[in-house]
A and B are shown apart, each in its own frame.
Chain A
Amino acid sequence: MEAVFSDFGEYAKAFGLTCGLFLVAGLGSLVWGTFLAALRVGPVAVMRKASAAYVGVFRNTPLLVVFIFVAVALPKIGYSFTFIENVDVGGHHVSGYFFRACVALTLYTSAFVCEAVRSGINAVPLGQAEAARSIGLTFTQTMQEVVLPQAVRAVVPPLTSVLVALLKNTSVAAAFGIAEATAQMKSMNNDHADQRIQIFLLFAVGYIVLVEVLTFSSYALERRWRVA
């Protein structure tokens, strides 16, 4: 216990990094994944196939192998994204390690975001759109008033589980030089062999709290958007 509490700053900093990875990669994969989903449900066959191929490749590759690609193989051929180290965020410099981890997490998670968004759109019954068209709504009106509001509601539960998985997957960054929570637990385990179980439980609780925050905000969103 006191191994963590005496070093609580390190514990908090490690979970701060976990949250940072989650926020940057989450935002990135929401944007990129939604774009892929748009291609996936669009009318152009080539775009649909390209997006499906992307999803197929990244969904079946382990995240760790994606990390090897981005953090080990790409720097080898000259793409180490070190330009990011010149960027200044509130007096802190972003490390190349952090950025590469975010790229890997984004590439991987966006495949799952794409599937979640697509399943949300598929959840809207065809009759809804047909009814909207037959009462004379334009394309924009059909989308804004009928299809998208239902699709967005249907997308919240699967998207939440994707984001929860992303939060847990940030732990893989530990293997590639980032001192986030899992790496921090490993180093504390090295230093305090007698308190392993307590250290593990405290780090597990940290993750559980973050996961529950996510899950409960999704429930709140669902409740708020519920129709009748």
Chain B
Amino acid sequence: MSATVLYDAPGPRTVRRHRIYAGVTALALVGLAVLVLWKLNSAGQLAYAQWEVFLTPDYVRVILLDGLLKTLEMAFFAIVFAVVFGVVFGTAKLSEHWWIRSPAWLVVEFFRAVPVLLLMVFVFYLLSVGDGPLSKFWCVVVALTVYNGAVLAEVFRAGVNAVPHGQVEAAYALGLRKGQVMTTIQLPQAVRIMLPSIVSQCVVALKDTSLGYYIVAPGLTAVGKQIYLEFFNQVPTAIVLAALYITCNLLLTALATWLQRRYVGERNPVDTSRVGNMDGGRAV
């Protein structure tokens, strides 16, 4: 344990006291686990019949293809479009002309402050209900795109601003034009800095695909709902859904950490902590 601002290195008596705390906590946690298992068991939730569906090859195929794959597709499209949206509006926010800057600011602030679910319901009613042009799949993608795009626009702006100003001055001194400075000097460096934040935003997008549940869009939660309505195994279904999402998100987080170490280094040049959805502590 490294030194911390909160307390000094413990002496022998404190170490003993901490050992007692550790033992009591471990006992309490084991007790809690036993209690949960016992409650689940007495409610019949650990019976094989409740879990059988997750071991049946046909259903596993449905869960993985109609559920997980659809969810990943939605997240993938949403993040790809969101990056485009983010680059466009992030650049617009950096513009020197107020008549480009202020509409971009308005759009970004609007979509950041409105809940994704509200957007999703609106897109669904506007473009999908009845014989609208979009399927529910794309309603989810559109809602996630504008929300995550607005967040990424801020990330992008922060990334460009994090490029040392001397770089820009040197480029102008060499005689490059404004567009060239952006595309050859600022953008390539900004993207490197932003990469971990973009991957972290993928986690947010992946989690938010679950909101399609409300407009009965395809995806993991929709498949889960069908399963628990058919087999009445709500608890096992919830556990399986959570496990699938957690696994995907942990893989993405590991990727973000690797990118951070590979391309950015230990320091964290972009403070996106006020930008992301629930990323209060993720950037640290």
Contact = CB atoms under 8 A, between A and B. Distances in A.
Interface of A: 41-47, 50, 56-57, 59-65, 68-69, 72-73, 76-78, 109, 112-116, 118-119, 121-122, 124-126, 128-129, 133, 139, 143, 147, 157-162, 164-165, 168-172, 174-175, 181-182, 185-186, 189, 193, 196-197, 200, 203-204, 207-208, 211-212
A119 B281 contact: yes
A122 B25 CA distance: 24
Interface of B: 1, 3-8, 10, 14, 18, 21-22, 25-26, 29, 39-40, 43, 45, 110, 113-118, 121-122, 125-126, 203, 207-211, 213-214, 221, 224, 228, 232, 234-235, 237-238, 241-242, 245-246, 249-250, 253, 273-282, 284
Contacts of B221: 62, 64-65, 68
Given A46-B21, A77-B45, A204-B113, 14 more contacts: A44-B22, A64-B221, A76-B43, A76-B235, A115-B282, A119-B281, A126-B5, A129-B4, A161-B275, A162-B278, A171-B118, A175-B213, A185-B118, A189-B122
A41 B6 contact: yes
Shortest beta-carbon contacts, A-B, top 6: A115-B281, A77-B43, A62-B210, A60-B249, A129-B5, A158-B280
A60 to B, nearest CB: 4
A68 B25 contact: no
A207 B29 CA distance: 40
Contact of A147 (B3, B5, B18, B253): B5
B113 A62 contact: no
Contacts of A43: 1, 7, 10, 14, 18
B5 A181 contact: no
A196 B126 contact: yes
A2 to B, nearest CB: 18
A168 B116 contact: yes
Contacts of B279: 161
B1 A212 contact: no
Contacts of A60: 203, 207, 245-246, 249-250, 253
A128 B126 contact: no
29 contacts: A43-B10, A43-B14, A60-B245, A61-B207, A68-B234, A69-B238, A73-B234, A73-B237, A76-B232, A77-B39, A77-B43, A112-B278, A115-B284, A119-B273, A119-B280, A121-B5, A128-B5, A158-B274, A162-B278, A162-B280, A172-B117, A174-B117, A182-B118, A185-B118, A197-B126, A200-B118, A203-B118, A204-B118, A207-B118
Nearest to B19: A44
A64 B242 CA distance: 10
A126 B3 contact: yes
A125 B121 CA distance: 46
Given A46-B26, A73-B235, A157-B273, A65 B241 contact: yes
Given A77-B45, A158-B280, A197-B126, A68 B224 contact: yes
Contact of A72 (B238, B245, B253): B238
Contact of B214 (A76, A164, A174, A189): A174
B115 A68 contact: no
A115 B283 CA distance: 10
A201 to B, nearest CB: 9
Contacts of A159: 280
B241 A44 contact: no
Contacts of A57: 242, 246
A63 B6 CA distance: 32
Contact of A172 (B211, B234, B238): B211
A191 to B, nearest CB: 11
Given A65-B221, A181-B118, A208 B280 contact: no
Nearest to A125: B5
Contacts of B210: 62-65
A171 B147 CA distance: 15
A207 B21 contact: no
Contacts of B273: 119, 157-158, 161
A106 to B, nearest CB: 14
Contacts of B280: 112-113, 115-116, 119, 158-159, 161-162, 165
B6 A59 contact: no
A122 B118 contact: no
Contacts of B234: 68, 72-73, 76
Contacts of A122: 284
Nearest to B240: A65
A107 B194 CA distance: 30
Contacts of A193: 125
Contacts of A133: 8
A77 B239 CA distance: 14
